[in-house]
Amino acid sequence: MNAQAAKPTACLALADGTIFTGQGFGATGEVVAELVFNTAMTGYQEIMTDPSYASQVVTFTFPHIGNTGITEEDDEAPDPVASGIVVKWDPTEPSNWRATSDLQDWMRRRGRVGIGGVDTRRLTRAIRQQGSPHVVLAHDPDGNFDIQAMVTRAREWQGLVGLDLAKEVSTRQSYRWDTGLWSWPGEFAGNGEERPFKVVALDYGAKRNILRSLVASGADVTVLPATATAEEVLSHDPEGVFLSNGPGDPAATGSYAVPMIQQLLDRDMPIFGICLGHQMLALALGAKTVKMGHGHHGANHPVRDVDTGKVEITSMNHGFAVDAQTFPSGVRETHISLFDGSNCGLAVADKPVFSVQYHPEASPGPQDSAYLFTRFADAMRTRREG
């Protein structure tokens, strides 16, 4: 039966009362979240398992979602974190030699809701014009939906402003990470790699490929929970500290992360931040963050390096941004989005401290931003030799 003629088994209700219906897949049930769109043409599994998407439903602008199936090697976290997905066409059977299962079954087993058959162009235009709305996404095989109750729930949801989600997605206890990057014919670098630099990574929602990239740059990585204190960080005698990506309002996470980072800044040790880690560092230095309209979510974002003029094609996923106009003396802007001019990087004068808003480990360029991990390793090497 044609999906257009079939009785809707899924419903997406926006807080302004707009309703989209389609065919449900994955788990049944109902979720409330913020709706964002992602422009990437591939990587839907990495997106679903990126902890930065906590409490968000993702609309994919690319119509072919699910065609490469699922392979556990591509998970960025143990389980999917995004609340659900919206796609134009119902996912098809996978056609990929690496696939171990299909998207629909994977989402059903992992408790994530999907809706297909949606006019994603119309939905994306609405997000761009009005900002990321609060929504309720429901999947019921019988097609029974209380539309008014769904709209009311979407309207009453508090949203991401003021919400600390880093605690929810962070590890609960410390652990060592020693796996490097994936390489042909299909395996990750192992323990034989030389890793001379001891690095503590603060987990605000860290993606696995970030940790792999740190290992590949020579880091002996110990991962600590988001709530770790400066004393706990320093007890590992690190030569560098990494601040990871993550979800939620940076100002809320900053209530405990900022004092810790400020104590580390007094130590003059190399510090490198990505995404939420960039925002945490900015707040610790005295800058401010702001909520964006629809945020940056995709793998085709051009960013200009202020120092070199080089343009990097980057992967981004953030709904809050650092306000570069609030940078204090001694902090400078290093990278700028060529889409909207928003801040994408900072560095501290006379300190080996820097961060970027985008994801250099995601390889959309594909290697445009890999130098940042090398820069971090070089900073640790210089400090050791100095």
Name the residues annotated as catalytic: 275, 359, 361
Q: Which of 93, 144, 142, 83 is nearest to 114 (CA)?
A: 83
DSSP 3-state percent helix, strand, coil across the chain (nearest 5): 25, 30, 40
Q: Which of 32, 27, 4 is nearest to 140 (CA)?
A: 27
Pair of tokens at residue 250: 């940076």
CA distance 108 to 299: 26
Distances (CA, A) of 261 to 64, 141, 236, 279, 280: 42, 49, 15, 11, 8
CA distance 31 to 154: 9
CA distance 159 to 163: 7
> CA angle, 47 as apex, 186 and 43 as ends, to 5°?
45
Question: Exposed/middle/buried for 168, CB within 10 Å: 0-12, 13-18, 19+?
Answer: middle
Q: Specify whether the CB–CB gap between 297 and 274 falls below 8 A.
A: no
Provide CB contacts within 8 A for 207, sequence distance 6+.
46, 50, 51, 52, 76, 77, 244, 245, 359, 361
CA distance 299 to 316: 6
Which 3 state secondary structure label does DSSP give 266?
Answer: coil
Q: Specify whether the CB–CB gap between 189 and 369 falls below 8 A.
A: no
Q: What are phi and psi of 72, to 5 degrees?
A: -60, -25
Provide CB contacts within 8 A for 266, sequence distance 6+.
none
CA distance 324 to 313: 21
